[in-house]
């Protein structure tokens, strides 16, 4: 099934931006609740960063592109 890489990348960039915003919100909430002195153990913020990182890995083509593609004409030649 052909994939529109441009649209997929656009969607992934939107998800990355949203995850980063949510992670920042979680970090701000954690800081206002516990202060900066406490060891950070915010699982929700970490989860958003993990999803954003995974989306970055999915950007573009999934694998390497072949340098040459064999002739695939209907004649078989």
Task: Read off the pLDDT of residues 19-38 as tens digits, 9 standing for 90 and up.
Answer: 999 988 988 888 888 776 55
Q: For the chain, which residues make up each domain, given as ranges?
A: 5-58
CB distance 60 to 45 below 8 Å: no
Q: How confident is the model at residue 6 (pLDDT cuts 50, 70, 90)?
A: confident
d(CA 20, CA 6): 21
DSSP state of 65: P
Q: How confident is the model at residue 3 (pLDDT cuts 50, 70, 90)?
A: low
Task: Read off the pLDDT of residues 35-60 as tens digits, 9 standing for 90 and up.
Answer: 765 555 567 788 899 999 999 999 98
For the question of whether the overall pTM of this predicted structure is more than 0.75, the answer is: no
d(CA 10, CA 28): 27
Judge whether residue 75 has pLDDT over 80: no
């Amino acid at each position: 099934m052909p994939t529109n890489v441009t649209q997929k990348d656009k969607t992934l960039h939107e998800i990355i931006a949203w995850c980063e915003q949510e992670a920042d919100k979680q970090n701000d909430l954690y800081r206002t609740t516990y202060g900066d002195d406490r060891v950070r153990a915010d699982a929700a913020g970490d989860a958003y960063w993990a999803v954003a990182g995974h989306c970055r890995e999915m950007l573009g083509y999934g694998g390497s592109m072949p340098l040459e593609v064999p002739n695939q004409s209907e004649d078989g030649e």
